[in-house]
Structure 1
């Protein structure tokens, strides 16, 4: 079946107003955003509070996702269901989303009445987002912080070349140095380092990193410039980079040449699950008919069949985005 035939609901979509969700899930936090297509551009209407995942069980994740969505949708006149997921790179293999992570997304979607329309790898979304911001493919080393580890991503001209994980210790400089030494085939290393996803004082970390002599043992041509992104840049990246591809697939006219715009950015603060808005119910049980329908829709998204149409499932497209498999439920 031709891919365009699966998406015939998207015809003339550019003349309609529809809100969507972007949902980022990483090791420690959940973030959400409401986005729309306006005047040929992806506009982030509002981002959520940054919600900490307090335990490793599925119910804790459900509560965090629920709260992130609630704060993203608070004070806006939309209640979107169609959702792009931003997921970590190790949630995906050559066949797509790995089976245990499929079950997590299925559970979240059923409990929270979400309609998955695609997914994007967080680092690929961030690279595309940076390219849109600076109007040129980035060459840099991205370093993602979590409580237990660092993820170092080597990017050359907008392409992810290598990734390495390093356990996090009290000595962050040594951790970063260890990770960079694993990029043995990269000579020289990009003289730009971008830190992100850390709920701490990046200025202190940057000063510690700048004080280290990186050129002594590593193939930098000169002392690297060290930058940092605020915590909500990654969820904006999921919405803007992933949303652009999904919106085009659904029939929206997207104008790539215009600058990215975001609005209504709330103050940055990490929330706990106990701080849910008054009257908000976590994981409200769906009625049987709705739950069966959404289960079928989710299976259409994440279960491989011969009738699927795939957007860039193994090779990156020109934006570097990997999107989920779509199926005929988009044409219903």
Structure 2
């Protein structure tokens, strides 16, 4: 389909466009063009952080990334104005951009003087990027990471089954398992996990954690251990640019203008994107059937031909100040808006009219050729810079046993170890199969005929009479009449018809040779005896697999475990992030148990169909956190967040008292406003020294917008221009 803003031409023009990818708390940009059906990324702005929910912060971060990209252009080019947005799934509902998100895009477009050409959902763009590189639709679990959440997308045959967002805990594998449970259980999960973010260090740490994950233990069954691959830092913006080029200019490939990333299976297309020059065709990513970009007209984003957005009713709607609450990424408290002096407003207006490059986009930057007076320079130096500070700390891990009781009341009583809970019961079925490990001996019984000799009156030996030859026993096949006889070789009584006998057990040892002697029943050897004129034959034996009692017990135990795991996965998808699920193993009620075979049966495998009702206890993470703190006080200077703990039940004692093992990661307890007060106006080296006093400190990252050279290159002097976050080192 054609974009409504500009149509495809028979030969794609060399017009330059923007890509602007919006992450959960970061934005990234690139300038690209289409030539000879290839997308050439000529400049990459790089990721800039922003405060989630703060539109002003988003605009500033986007402006910073766009400005950074523009500064990398060394030759004069036609000013880009059109932009393709890369959006997170959270921006869309039923395939359309949410109303409140449309307002955000309108604000961005107006402030940065961009003309929206279309948008693409980031996971879809990445799927097509991978498909284009590998030449086949991928089957994978795509995971976008951030400090507080994971975005889990299940992909089958290049199609998105579903995307869900889960809160991040101390176990990334467990978080992915929770996301997959919410998506729903397919017949088989893909054995490939692709992870992406804009921070390489975070991605590598996440990869190593996933490689060490015991998937079966957390309830996810793969055909084999999944392969974990890290997408390069620029994968998102490259994917968005490729999608835009395919739609805008009919591009079928992404041409590399930078070295390939060596430590990633998916290659990077950004490293040294400096001066624009002829692109060397080192490698291409081809793309076909790339229809995932959504066209969007200016009217859809509120732009009306002939009308200035500043005069529209929507533009006049005030943007509420964001309310900042204590989270894992902590920021300075919201402050009352301070109106900048008139001189700054005049300066901002003057700077906005400067060209960014080649008569380029208006932006808050120092344009070449602009001569500032000492006063205007001072105002710009004081008010323009902003900074985002990330303090990385080593979390302190704890593991404690707690006790608690449950109540139907809605209020907890931490002092008496009582918390509200609800019980959920769910019925599930499962089928398990295993190889039989028992052994059974099978074969045939030996047979033959005997001559029975009798001294005394005639007698009839009934069928089944036992004949013994040493320890080996045989039985008569039918009733046999024995004539009377007396002692002497020619006067002994004999059976009047053939006396057939059969061994009581299988085995070759019953194949007796001829002339063997037999004792008959309870008769004495002097009165009644027997011999065989011919050797017995037919006796044999062999061992074969069979069902043992242990097989049945093991199979039932495995089936019960799988029953509980299936029930837990189904229930987890229905719970909120603030809930914890505890299985009540004593309440597992088996309603149907059907073994395919019984103990001793000769079979290679045995299976079990099991149906049962599983009962779960659902409690609040916050309440478990409060119990943990009350029963095991935290080390001084550390704090515990509910989302950073996990719980494993140990036992249920008397009076329905539960015992459980709690594992948690503690973070240093800091006051962001105090830290910002100390580092405002400091040189980066001094700021890092101050930050190093944070408990558990490992390193700090400072991203500054409008950084001045030499002694002027300090952090902003205005505290509200500094945002701060505490990040757990992986």
Whole-angstrom distance in 1 between the partners of 2:81 and 2:57: 21
2:292 matched residue in structure 1: 321
1:101 matched residue in structure 2: 101
Deviation at 1:65, TM superposition (A): 0.3
Deviation at 1:325, TM superposition (A): 2.7
Deviation at 1:39, TM superposition (A): 1.2
| 1:178-197 equivalence runs, <5 A | 178-197=178-197
| 1:225-304 equivalence runs, <5 A | 225-248=227-250, 254=251, 256=252, 259-264=253-258, 265-266=270-271
| 1:41-120 equivalence runs, <5 A | 41-54=38-51, 56-76=53-73, 77-78=76-77, 79-94=79-94, 96-120=96-120
Range moving further from structure 2, 47-56 or 68-77: 47-56
3-state DSSP of counterpart to 1:201 = helix
CA 1:154 to 1:260, structure 2 compared with 1: closer, same or farther past 3 Å? same
- Could you report, residue by residue, the CA deviation over 1:41-95 in whole angstroms, capped at 9, with x for unpaired residues? 1121121121111463111111000011011121313331110000111211236
Q: TM-score, normalised by structure 1?
A: 0.74
2:152 matched residue in structure 1: 152
Q: Which has the larger radius of gyration?
A: 2
Number of residue pairs matched?
Answer: 272
Whole-angstrom distance in 2 between the partners of 1:5 and 1:205: 38
2:205 matched residue in structure 1: 204
2:17 matched residue in structure 1: 20
- Could you report, residue by residue, the CA deviation over 1:258-303 in whole angstroms, capped at 9, with x for unpaired residues? x5323242479xxxxxxxxxxxxxxxxxxxxxxxxxxxxxxxxxxx
Alpha-carbon contact 2:145-2:197 (below 8 Å) kept: yes
Alpha-carbon contact 1:31-1:50 (below 8 Å) kept: yes
Q: TM-score, normalised by structure 2?
A: 0.35
Whole-angstrom distance in 1 between the partners of 2:7 and 2:198: 40
Alpha-carbon contact 2:144-2:196 (below 8 Å) kept: yes
3-state DSSP of counterpart to 2:109 = helix
3-state DSSP of counterpart to 2:294 = coil
Deviation at 1:9, TM superposition (A): 5.3
Whole-angstrom distance in 2 between the partners of 1:123 and 1:97: 15
3-state DSSP of counterpart to 2:249 = helix
Alpha-carbon contact 1:128-1:320 (below 8 Å) kept: no
Deviation at 1:326, TM superposition (A): 3.6
Alpha-carbon contact 2:49-2:61 (below 8 Å) kept: yes
Alpha-carbon contact 2:243-2:293 (below 8 Å) kept: no
Whole-angstrom distance in 1 between the partners of 2:207 and 2:16: 37
2:716 matched residue in structure 1: none
Whole-angstrom distance in 2 between the partners of 1:28 and 1:239: 20
CA 1:89 to 1:82, structure 2 compared with 1: closer, same or farther past 3 Å? same
Structure 1 unaligned segments of length 5 or more: list them.
249-253, 269-316
Alpha-carbon contact 1:127-1:320 (below 8 Å) kept: no
What's the Cα RMSD here? Answer: 2.7
- Could you report, residue by residue, the CA deviation over 1:98-128 in whole angstroms, capped at 9, with x for unpaired residues? 1111111111111111011000000111101
Alpha-carbon contact 1:125-1:242 (below 8 Å) kept: no
Whole-angstrom distance in 2 between the partners of 1:5 and 1:19: 15
Whole-angstrom distance in 1 between the partners of 2:2 and 2:214: 54
Alpha-carbon contact 2:154-2:180 (below 8 Å) kept: no
1:288 matched residue in structure 2: none
Deviation at 1:231, TM superposition (A): 1.7
CA 1:7 to 1:164, structure 2 compared with 1: closer, same or farther past 3 Å? closer
3-state DSSP of counterpart to 1:182 = helix
- Could you report, residue by residue, the CA deviation over 1:16-55 in whole angstroms, capped at 9, with x for unpaired residues? 3211100001111100011110111112112112111146
Whole-angstrom distance in 2 between the partners of 1:8 and 1:231: 30
Range moving further from structure 2, 116-125 or 160-169: 160-169
1:213 matched residue in structure 2: 214
Structure 2 unaligned segments of length 5 or more: list them.
259-269, 274-287, 304-730
3-state DSSP of counterpart to 1:116 = strand
1:297 matched residue in structure 2: none
